[in-house]
Amino acid sequence: MSMEEVLNKVRDCVWELPSNYKKSMRVPGRIFLDDEALKDLEKGAVDQVANVASLPGIQKFSIGLPDIHFGYGFSIGGVGAFSARNGIISPGGVGFDINCGVRMVRTNLSEEEVRPKIKEIIDTLFRNVPSGVGSKGKIRLKKGQIDEVLTNGAEWAVENDYGWEEDLEYLEENGKMKEANSDKVSEKAKKRGVPQLGTLGSGNHFLEVQKIEKIFEPEVAEKFAVEKGKIAILIHTGSRGCGHQVCSDYLRIMDKAYKRHKINIPDRQLACAPVDSDEAQDYFQAMSAAANYAWANRQMILHWVRESFEQIFQKSAEDMGMSVVYDVAHNMAKKEVHEIKGRSKELYVHRKGATRSFGPGRKEIPSPYRKIGQPVLIPGTMGTSSYLLHGTQTAMDETFGSTAHGAGRKMSRAGAKRKYRGEEIQKYLQKKGIIIKATSMPVVAEEAPGAYKNVDEVIQTVEKSGISKLVAQMVPLGVAKG
Amino acid sequence: MRFEFFDVTADTGYWSFGSSLEESFENAALAMFEVMTNTSQIRKLEKREIEVISEDKISLLYDFLEELLFIHEVEYLVFSDFEVEIQKLKEKYKLNGVAEGEKINPEVHEIRGEVKAVTFHKMEIRKEDGYKVRVILDI
């Protein structure tokens, strides 16, 4: 059965999965894809959209974004919003890497200043920001400090001299989920968190030095203070072992909870609990704490990025204008107010491999950006473009203010390793003027640009469907990876 | 053959084999460390004992691998040699294991990818030519 036969076209790049696709569905699905990408849509991912549509308290649509692919329980590139009165909360709707996210830092440096030193910059970043399997964080938390990190997030980092007070204004939730409760985080998760704070990790995580290649909306770019030809830095990492353990712990708890609460679910991996149950609220508080860990992590890495640039350019980070454009989370559940049938309703919005894309006027957006909509950061893969966009009213109306989070894999890691060699990819990118430094060459092969969907096509669909609007395109000069 | 990797879009999956359930668990642990490094380079310099109790065999496998991942992350150890004993208790299963290896060192060991988590996704234990178990890791 082709997926084109199952889906009904709503308009260009927007498809409806009718609620009679599966008997259990409570609402229809909405999938954002262009005609070309629709041909490659996995049936497994569509079934997952339908499964999420079957969960209690789901609102309006179960959503698949332009980078949708098959995940555990919930698809990756998926959004499910559940009533805060009679809905559910599910760790599978957030994923293992809680608050995996992206931070963009601007500079006033030009390509001419940076290009000749790019190798030195990447080497320095690689040295100053621990990454890869078995890497040790540079700091050792004292006993009890992990609880402060989990409670206060990026604020903890700034109080401990990692970065600037003003950075906080430009992070989602100001880098601190107020609902966090470190008592709900297991000792195991804390122990995994202690040595890894201030580390980048491995896999698709990276630090990238980029040039702003193209501006699409000059007026918005000006408000976001990004300028064509200038250099920016992208930091992509999450909550490390701490967040993974929180997810694992609560998947076990939810596996018992859904049976106890007699929730009918089509797939065990959608294990969840009613919003007002202890299990759901404990998870939400623990997840919020892990999210805070991730914001502290990115804040510390930002600090070392600034230090690295200071070492090389012998200027202060302030003089180089190294301030934060924005920081987005892409594996999160949040309690948000959305308009449903003309009425404001509190919802738990689950975004798994999805970026918030709030439109103009939302109070969550920093005041200098509020009239435009929030900045949205969509990273490409190693060696490809990344994009800065802004949130829209269309996203508010159709996706609970959400958009894509990246290119999405199309080839398995094993397949990529059979097809590519890390050293060859490194040389190929070097010819294109992109320097890669990585702890692991097999990881470079796994992350080869050819193993991912084309990010440019994902962006086109995002733009055409209107769930975010393009502001700038960035191209990489150098990448440090785990 | 002790294990065999197969393709999963975003992650890594494998079957591990054994003439007994215990041996298939030991090889599942070996395969997990093979994702992180070349296990043939690991020397047996340190030993850790593991005990897990779980409600069924699948959960026992999950908890065993998770415990090893936890030790790896907290102590930076990688292991290449495992000995596992499994006992059936009243309504539960108990695993006692010993893992041997050493601290990971980029100068000695090939560094591959990081394992984020063990998952229950398609986790399976089959009694077929001895035992085979299926594991998918989140990478």
Q: Tell me if A412 and B8 make a contact (CB, 8 A cut-off).
A: yes
Cross-strand partners of A372 = none
Q: Tell me if B112 and A443 make a contact (CB, 8 A cut-off).
A: yes
State the smallest CA–CA distance between residue B4 and chain A in angstroms: 11
B85-116 pLDDT per residue, tens: 999 999 999 999 999 999 999 899 999 989 99
Measured CA to CA in angstroms, residue A120 lies from A20, A125, A210 at distances of: 58, 9, 15
B50-84 pLDDT per residue, tens: 999 999 999 999 999 999 999 999 999 999 999 99
State the smallest CA–CA distance between residue A273 and chain B in angstroms: 18
State the smallest CA–CA distance between residue A68 and chain B in angstroms: 12
- Please tell me whether the interface predicted TM-score (ipTM) of this complex is above 0.85: yes
Task: Let me know how long chain A is.
Answer: 482
Interface of B to A at Cβ within 8 Å reads 5-12, 36-37, 66, 70, 72-74, 76, 78, 103-106, 110-114, 116-121, 138-139
Alpha-carbon dihedral sign for residues B102, B104, B108, B112: positive
Interface probe, candidates A131, A133, A244, A440, chain B, greatest B C-beta count within 10 A: A133
Q: How far apart are CA A171 and CA A152, in angstroms?
A: 13
Cross-strand partners of B102 = B78
- Residue A236 is a catalytic residue: no
Q: Which chain B residues are within 8 Å of A248, Cβ to Cβ?
A: 66, 117-118
Q: Which chain A residues are within 8 Å of B54, Cβ to Cβ?
A: none
Q: Where are the alpha helices (DSSP H) in chain B?
A: 21-36, 57-75
Spans of all domains in chain A: 3-95+336-356
Which pLDDT score, from 0 to 100, does residue A203 have?
Answer: 82
Question: Is A153 in contact with A176 (CB distance < 8 Å)?
Answer: yes
Run means of pLDDT, 10 residues per run, chain A, 482 residues: 88 97 97 93 94 98 95 93 98 96 98 97 96 84 92 98 98 98 97 94 92 98 98 97 96 94 90 98 98 98 98 98 98 97 97 98 97 97 93 98 91 88 94 92 90 92 98 97 86
Q: Among all residues of chain B, which has the CA nearest to that of A415?
A: B7
Q: Does A144 touch chain B (CB under 8 A)?
A: no
Which pLDDT score, from 0 to 100, does residue A1 have?
Answer: 64
Candidate list A205, A244, A350, A405, residue with the active-site label: A405
Q: Which chain A residues are within 8 Å of B56, Cβ to Cβ?
A: none
Amino acid at A421: R
- Any idea which residue has 């400090």 for tokens? A145
Which pLDDT score, from 0 to 100, does residue A99 have?
Answer: 98
Q: What is the DSSP string of A247-272?
A: HHHHHHHHHHHHHHTT---SSGGG--
Q: Among all residues of chain A, which has the CA nearest to that of B110?
A: A440
Q: Does A201 touch chain B (CB under 8 A)?
A: yes
Q: Which chain A residues are within 8 Å of B10, Cβ to Cβ?
A: 69-71, 76, 409, 412-413
Q: How far apart are CA A461 and CA B108, in angstroms?
A: 46
Q: Which chain B residues are within 8 Å of A136, Cβ to Cβ?
A: 76
Q: How far apart are CA B109 and CA A135, in angstroms?
A: 13
A222-278 pLDDT per residue, tens: 999 999 999 999 999 999 999 999 999 999 999 999 999 999 998 888 999 999 999
Nearest by CB: A133 against B111, B120, B121:
B111
- Any idea which residue has 């059979």 for tokens? A418
Q: Tell me if A411 and B9 make a contact (CB, 8 A cut-off).
A: yes
Q: Which chain B residues are within 8 Å of A97, Cβ to Cβ?
A: 116
Which pLDDT score, from 0 to 100, does residue A143 have?
Answer: 78
